[in-house]
Amino acid sequence: MIALLGPEIAWYLGVAAFLFATGAFGVLLRRNPLIVLLSLEIMLNGANLALIGFSRNLGDGGGQIFALAVMAVAASEVVVGLGLVVALNRKRITLDVDRLNTLRG
Amino acid sequence: MVWGAWICLLSPLVAACAITVGGTHLSRRAAGWLATSSCVVAFAGAVASFVGLLTHTASDRQFISTAWTWISGGRYQSGLSVIVDPLSVFMMLIVAGVGGLIVWYSIGYMDGDDEERRYFAYMALFVFSMLLLVQSGNLILLLAGWGMVGLSSYLLIGYWHQRPTAVAAAKKAFVMNAIGDATMALALFLLIQQGNSLEFGVLGGDFSSTVANLVALGLLGGAVAKSAQIPLHTWLPDAMEGPTPVSALIHAATMVTAGVYLIVRTHAIFEQAPKVADVAAGLGAATLLVAGLIALVQVDIKRVIAYSTMSQIGYMFVGAGIGSYPNAMFHLMTHAFFKALLFMTAGIVIHALTDEQDIRKMGGLRQLAPKTYWAFLVGSLALVGIFPFAGFFSKDSILAAAMAKGGAFGYILWAAGLAGTFLTGLYTFRLLFVVFWGEPSAFVREHFHPLGRDVVAFSLAIPVGILGVLSVVGGWIQFSPWWHPVETWLQTVAEPIVSPASWQEWTSIALSLLLGLTGIGVAWAIYGAHRVAVPRIAWAQRTLEHKFYFDEAYDALFYAPAVFLANFLRRGVEQPLIADSGRDLGDDTRDLGGIVARAQTGLVRTYALAIATGVAVLAIVFVIVK
């Protein structure tokens, strides 16, 4: 295996875990859908970082491919999510996810 | 010869199919003529077979023509075959001939009915079924014809399907006949198992007495149901709900005579099971008395004739049961003539009185419809068996045969037959006097409209005229003390096992003539001249009007328990187990859903938390397990 420069895998994973946790707390705690979407992106990027870190560590390009795929999905997701937010705003609905509860059983 | 038989068999079928397929492309009248001409062609085919048989010597008169192998399984094989022998040709001539006349008559009788085409398709199908029954070359094909006759009778009795009574009568006839079909099928199964064949020849085989008895009993069950003998007779009077020509067809030329034909055709097995043959004769005797008694109190013109049919078939059963096959067949033939005549004359009366069948409203029709009166008189005299009309020749020889059988049983049958003759005279002429004699009643004066001189009237009158002539001369072909061509003709197929001595013949003739005339005399005294008041015995009249409570007894024995059981099963099994279990399953699922639904808060963040928690828990579990 080619020796690679840079910090150990643990550092990458640490940062990735930190990003993921930040995103997760954002999704769970914030009520503004815009912020929730933003936090989701942060979670995805945390996951991406973990994928790339492993990919580099194992010398396997598959992880990077996955990361690219995740980015593509994330982009689409943002398009849909932001579209929804814009639609909500146009209908003068308060941007608060707790009040969007018509699916209650 | 065999080609004649095939033409005879297939032409009514072709007509039935053509009328069905043709639909409205055929005019109603054309459908009627098509059905009639198909019967005429069938009759011509039968005549061709008859002539063909005549050219052979007596011992060589049996031909079986097989179209193809119909059923083949293991060692068992049956062909789609017709048999041409004296017995089948005899029946073919009657069925096609009298049937054709009746279909012709229908053109006039059914004129203007809404669904004439359907009627004629059914009629042609009926004639085909009956021809299939009498021509089939083996028992399995005979059973097929047997079932088809039942089906077509169901269709025809329920022809006026908008009448609930007609539909009920049709169902009753079908169910009663199905009982007979079932016993017959069981007999055939036993025959296949024991003899491995259903050709007619197998019946003469060597069977243990149990097998012979069972097979004969099964066949007798079929015969009793189809021929409306006690105890399966209750469908026949109800079958009068059908159009009058249908009654004529069912009661004269076809269907009810099938039972007699079956016994004669399968006499070999009945001769191996003499007790069952005695049962057949006993049932015949019982039926002829019971039906004769019931006919005394009926007030529906067609029902009186229907009961007289049952009674006359009773005579044939007596004849067939004691082994006097040619006489049974001869009576079958003369009966076809005069009973068709009576029904068709009654049809003209009903037609002229705008569909009224209650004889209490009739009277004095002799003055208004003299020709109809004469036709009815001829039919009645033939039915009672007065010299020189047809019934005289055929009925008396059955009585003589009963006498010749001897023993207590033979004489009981003989006495029953003689008593039946008296009853026949009484009820037949009661009908005649009530309907035709006296002054025209108010109802008749108001409703009577004579026949015109158009095609309708001719279609009604000509077949009646032909049958009237046959009812006079039809019996002359055999006078058992002196000449017996019918017996000679049927000799090779069904040789009688009793031969009456000359004194027995003459005693029976004298006594039955005397009793028949006495019956007519009593009827005249009561209903014709009104010299004697109608005897009133309350309980007897009640019993007779309830037809000996057969319907009530069957209701109590079969219908009521079945309904009770069905109700019990519905309340005790179906309701709690099937209906309720389904409902409970649905209810419980909904309740459960209500509980689960509470978890669905609609708060997205709660869901996210649940997912996150789940993932965290799973991760921890994986780490620990690893």
The Cα–Cα gap between B449 and B220 comes to: 46
Q: For residue A29, list chain B residues with Cβ-Cβ distance below 8 A.
A: 605
Six token digits for residue B444: 């008749």
Distance from CA of B595 to the nearest CA of A (A): 10
Q: What are phi and psi of B73, to 5 degrees?
A: -150, 120
CA atoms within 13 A on the CB side of B38: 28
For B299-308, how does the pLDDT look when each residue is reduced to its tens digit (9 = 90+)?
888 889 989 9
Q: Mean pLDDT throughout B281-301?
A: 90
**pLDDT grade for A66, boundaries at 50, 70 and 90:** very high
Share of chain B above pLDDT 90, in %: 26
Residue B589 pLDDT exceeds 50 = yes
| DSSP letter, residue B199 | B
- Comparing B368 with B595, the larger pLDDT belongs to B595
**Residue B252: per-residue pLDDT:** 64
Contact between B604 and A24 using a beta-carbon 8 Å cutoff: no
Find, in chain B, the residue whose alpha carbon is nearest to that of A28.
B605
**Residue B527: per-residue pLDDT:** 84
For B333-364, how does the pLDDT look when each residue is reduced to its tens digit (9 = 90+)?
999 999 999 999 998 888 888 878 888 888 78
The Cα–Cα gap between A62 and A13 comes to: 17
**Residue A1: per-residue pLDDT:** 47
Which among A33-47, B99-113, B428-442 has the top mean pLDDT? A33-47
Question: Do residues B457 and B108 touch, judged by C-beta distance below 8 A?
Answer: yes
Residue with tokens 């025209």: B440
Peptide bond into B388 cis (omega under 30): yes
**Residue B182: per-residue pLDDT:** 93
Residue with tokens 């009657």: B94
Closest CB to B600: pick one of A28, A31, A104. A104
Residues in A 19-58 with any Cβ partner in B closer than 8 A: 24, 27-29, 31, 36
Which candidate, B124, B119, B99, B122, places its Cα nearest to that of B109?
B119
Question: Do residues B344 and B352 touch, judged by C-beta distance below 8 A?
Answer: no
For B87-125, how does the pLDDT look when each residue is reduced to its tens digit (9 = 90+)?
899 999 999 999 999 999 988 888 877 788 888 999 999
Six token digits for residue B202: 């197998």
For B75-163, where are the alpha helices, taking DSSP H only? 86-109, 116-135, 139-157
Q: Mean pLDDT throughout B190-217?
A: 85
Residue B365 pLDDT exceeds 90 = no
Distance from CA of B599 to the nearest CA of A (A): 7
**Residue B569: per-residue pLDDT:** 92
- Comparing B266 with B446, the larger pLDDT belongs to B266
Helix (H, G, I), strand (E, B) or coil at B533: coil
CA atoms within 13 A on the CB side of B163: 15
Residue A105 pLDDT exceeds 70 = no
Contact between A31 and B605 using a beta-carbon 8 Å cutoff: yes
Residue B554 pLDDT exceeds 70 = yes
**pLDDT grade for B218, boundaries at 50, 70 and 90:** very high
Task: Kindly report the pTM of this predicted structure.
Answer: 0.79
The Cα–Cα gap between B279 and B229 comes to: 12
Q: Mean pLDDT throughout B458-464?
A: 85
The Cα–Cα gap between B308 and B295 comes to: 7
Distance from CA of A81 to the nearest CA of B (A): 14
Torsion of Cα atoms, B107 then B113 then B118 then B123, to 10°: -40
Find, in chain A, the residue whose alpha carbon is nearest to that of B599.
A105
For B8-60, how does the pLDDT look when each residue is reduced to its tens digit (9 = 90+)?
999 999 999 999 998 888 888 888 899 999 999 999 999 999 998 888 887 78
The Cα–Cα gap between B539 and B65 comes to: 57
**Residue A4: per-residue pLDDT:** 59
Question: Do residues B293 and B544 touch, judged by C-beta distance below 8 A?
Answer: yes
**Residue B600: per-residue pLDDT:** 83
Q: Mean pLDDT throughout A80-98?
A: 89
**Residue B535: per-residue pLDDT:** 78
Residue A2 pLDDT exceeds 60 = no
Torsion of Cα atoms, B91 then B96 then B100 then B103, to 10°: 80
Q: What is the mean pLDDT of chain B?
A: 87
- CB count within 10 Å of CB B182 equals 14
For B141-176, how does the pLDDT look when each residue is reduced to its tens digit (9 = 90+)?
999 999 999 999 999 998 888 889 999 999 999 998
Q: Mean pLDDT throughout A36-51?
A: 93
Burial zone of B450 (CB within 10 Å; 0-12 exposed, 13-18 middle, 19+ buried): exposed
Which among A93-97, B186-190, B401-405 has the top mean pLDDT? B186-190
Do the interacting molecules here have an ipTM over 0.85?
Answer: no
Closest CB to B602: pick one of A28, A31, A101. A101
| DSSP letter, residue B441 | P
Residue B477 pLDDT exceeds 60 = yes
Residue environment code for B122-154, b if the CB has 16+ CB neighbours within 10 A, otherwise e: bbbbbbbbbbbbbbbbbbbbbbbbbbbbbbbbb
Given CB atoms, is A1 within the 8 Å cutoff of chain B?
no
- DSSP letters along B70-87, please? EEEETTEEEEEEEEESHH
Q: Chain B: which residues have CB within 8 Å of chain A?
A: 596-605, 608-609, 612
